[in-house]
Amino acid sequence: MKIEDLKGKNLKTFLSLMETTPLTTISNEEEYELLEMQLSILLNKGKLNKGEELYLFNLTEIISLYDELNPF
């Protein structure tokens, strides 16, 4: 799914999540923790709409890449 596929409530939800916690390169531990908190919120929410699913997919990709490049 791409952002171009989102409409109505799904698009609004995605854009709202982007406003609250933008999907961007993680530069430090503080940003990492912020994205992890957002990930936890979405995973614990239960059923997600298409906008949330797209955001969650991209959020997971960013966190996974950071983890690969910055092993603990």
Mean pLDDT per 10-residue interval, the chain, length 72 residues: 93 97 94 96 96 97 95 74
Handedness of CA 36, 57, 3, 66 (dihedral sign): positive
Which pTM does this prediction carry?
0.92
Helix (H), strand (E) at residue 58: helix 50-69
18: number of Cβ within 10 Å: 15
Contact status, residue 45 vs residue 52, Cβ threshold 8 Å? yes
- pLDDT for 49 equals 97
